[in-house]
Structure 1
């Protein structure tokens, strides 16, 4: 299947809106908490049970991105966006059926499993294309798109809440809300399907031009054999674990921190805090990733991990004595969380080239699946154990904050070990980057071209 090639004169600035139409839709995943209380009441679920669709969705995001990354590279962004549209929208429709017939397993299967596949394929669908269109500013380009995933909840949260208010919070109301979500997102994501194009490369061999494979290139198969890939896996996993630990428990955390003070945090204020965190998450994706184009990828991850550890330390030491300090530190951490997602594709491009960067990115997102389980588990499990030990308020979180600091230090160390990829992993750039059957595509693990190199080792991460 040939991806759609841009006609002469096509503006590359039409590609980011195509990516945004997908990412703003699948970013609804961060608004799942809106459905938790109605589901718990209507289907008599515990808090742990009502989180299952979200947790399975994040796991499937990483797995589908890992296993589908090569197909995304081979078939192109339009194919990937179409698959994402079908899976993500179908997930809502299956969940609507589950709510209507009071079968929670259908909601878990639909939203978590089927919809989660749409999350993963949709998340990586525009990354490789954007990097090829914007070789001069890859951090900014991927930041624009991935900003949409962080900002999707800002649209979905009030929209979902309004629908539940209008339709009701019983089974029928929840089912109708799921149905409207599925149909609306199908229409909105269709904009990206019809608008996306890959750059034309015929006759274009100017270094730095859109679509030109400039510099050393590494295949996805070879990339996962390098220490650089696994260092970045640790970096992403640690950064995401630290951020999602706060994001998943933001409202109860700020309430607990100031529950023993003379000015406790109200439910409305806690909800406002969650909205601020979402805004910081979104802003960090475009702000920090754009900054990485100027200061380099390794340096910006030093900020994410080093300053992030300092923010956690300030919360642990002084967070319960100052609301402004707690809020500011949390906002900074969430901006790093979002920035880490948006910067990682450009970091991969620096190290491995653009040849199969989408497939490499997909494999790396298994770190997100791990962190999606690890972060909430650390914060919730520790808080439960501390409560059983008789502690309350900020005392519930002291140990988990210390663990997060340790994880960020591990991520910081892993980032320091990142070096240029050895030339033995480089492959010759294919004659036609859009042709999956190009004879220089190293599909055979024994292909001697996979080990070919030009004798240089000059490709370095900024």
Structure 2
């Protein structure tokens, strides 16, 4: 069929003289769209007041913050599971077909969720945004990564930073877009949520088509002009290739799994509750009448975190090309643990500006952890099946989505039940997350070069393991 051939991997191979810098915008189109997931917290209060119509005084039958938060957790769980499940398929069929599947699932998930909102059926919201949308997240997330590593073997950190920074920046678009659409539709539907989901689903589906139809993969024998592989800068960089099936048999894979798990668990706890967190900590009650952080200002905070999530992905992963992946992660965890422990004090002292600066720095390193991971995997296991290995590593993200949500909701709700308010309600959360980061520090410290017994025997075709 003609349509099938258009989606074939062979139709995406770049011709001679193709400019590799045209590939990152295609990756960004996908990641900027699916990165909307990071702005989901702007829906928390509107979704929790569909019956009452009052975000501060929910009625019986309104969904609780914990119920709504499960939607985000399901989406991230499905992101990791679908990335692991479809990794090898994606490498076989190429990025175009995978990106199209991602756009249909992600856009379609919004449409199903809008029906759940209209019917006030949270299970439909879980299924639409969480399950179907989550599959779109997973396939879309890994679809450009190994393609970019192949285009930029001389700058792996820069390449993966470009691919993944869009995911971190998605909330910068998604947060104000959702707020404005909900305000526009507020008179026609409860809190304006259902029509907002419909419009956003259609917008993202169309926007992602740019990436689908412009992505290109390099020819098998292509390499950058004047490129000479230099693998002397780190003892961790492999000279062989390890398959996805063998990679999961190595201790290095599981140490990196713990590294990603701890980095994400700590960061996701902040992102998931960013909007209510800053509103509760710096409310009128503490700041004085009319001086507290409003819902609109909190949406701005979510957007600012998104910006630093984006910038951190590019800055830290690019820096890892210079200083190495292992030292970069040691910096994330060491400095991160100190900053997490500092956050409650800044909240207690109502130091809003410093609080925001520290939160932004924390999130920049959280984003950097994602962007540096594929380059770290490529260093340790080679380029052969790095996309599939990355997909399997993202199950740590799925686990962290559950763990992060559980830690935040359990500890903060326990604190509130004891009568603690403001910064005190979240104090135990941040101290726990600082401890989680120490575990990540120790796991990264233990990473060594992969044993040669795991290498593929004989020559391998990179294309077989690439997009």
* Distance (whole Å) between structure 2 residues aligned to residue 41 and residue 261 of structure 1: 25
Corresponding residue to 1:314 among 318, 338, 342: 342
Aligned counterparts, 1:220-231, within 5 A:
220-231=244-255
Name the counterpart of 1:445.
Answer: none
1:194 matches 2:213: yes
1:39 positional shift: 2.7
Task: Say which is worse superposed, 145-154 or 100-109, in terms of deviation.
Answer: 100-109
1:178 matches 2:206: no
1:342 matches 2:399: no
1:135 positional shift: 0.5
1:272 positional shift: 3.2
1:418 matches 2:436: no
1:173 positional shift: 4.4
Corresponding residue to 1:266 among 293, 298, 311: 293
1:26-50 deviation line (CA, Å, top 9, x unaligned): 1111122233333322253222222
1:399 positional shift: 2.3
1:68 positional shift: 1.0
Name the counterpart of 2:79.
Answer: 61
Corresponding residue to 2:165 among 133, 136, 147: 147
Contact 2:238 2:379 in 1 (8 A): no
Aligned counterparts, 1:58-457, within 5 A:
58-168=76-186, 170=189, 173-202=192-221, 208=227, 215-258=239-282, 261=286, 265-267=292-294, 268-321=296-349, 322-428=351-457, 430-435=459-464
Contact 1:219 1:356 in 2 (8 A): yes
From the superposition, tell whether residues 396 and 38 of structure 1 become closer, same or farther in structure 2 (CA, over 3 Å): closer
* Distance (whole Å) between structure 1 residues aligned to residue 458 and residue 279 of structure 2: 55
* Distance (whole Å) between structure 2 residues aligned to residue 244 and residue 265 of structure 1: 24
* Distance (whole Å) between structure 2 residues aligned to residue 168 and residue 394 of structure 1: 31
Q: Give the TM-score taking structure 1 as reference length.
A: 0.88
* Distance (whole Å) between structure 2 residues aligned to residue 23 and residue 214 of structure 1: 29
Contact 1:21 1:188 in 2 (8 A): yes
* Distance (whole Å) between structure 1 residues aligned to residue 392 and residue 404 of structure 2: 20
Task: Name the SS of the counterpart of 1:51 in structure 2.
Answer: helix
1:21 matches 2:49: no
Name the counterpart of 2:17.
Answer: 9
Q: Give the TM-score taking structure 2 as reference length.
A: 0.87
1:53 positional shift: 2.2
From the superposition, tell whether residues 42 and 203 of structure 1 become closer, same or farther in structure 2 (CA, over 3 Å): closer
Task: Name the SS of the counterpart of 1:198 in structure 2.
Answer: coil
Unaligned segments of structure 1, at least 5 residues: 438-462
1:101 positional shift: 4.2
Name the counterpart of 1:441.
Answer: none
Corresponding residue to 2:39 among 24, 31, 35: 31
1:255-275 deviation line (CA, Å, top 9, x unaligned): 444557555632144443333
Task: Name the SS of the counterpart of 2:50 in structure 1.
Answer: helix
Name the counterpart of 2:54.
Answer: none
1:363 positional shift: 0.6
Task: Say which is worse superposed, 218-227 or 144-153, in terms of deviation.
Answer: 144-153
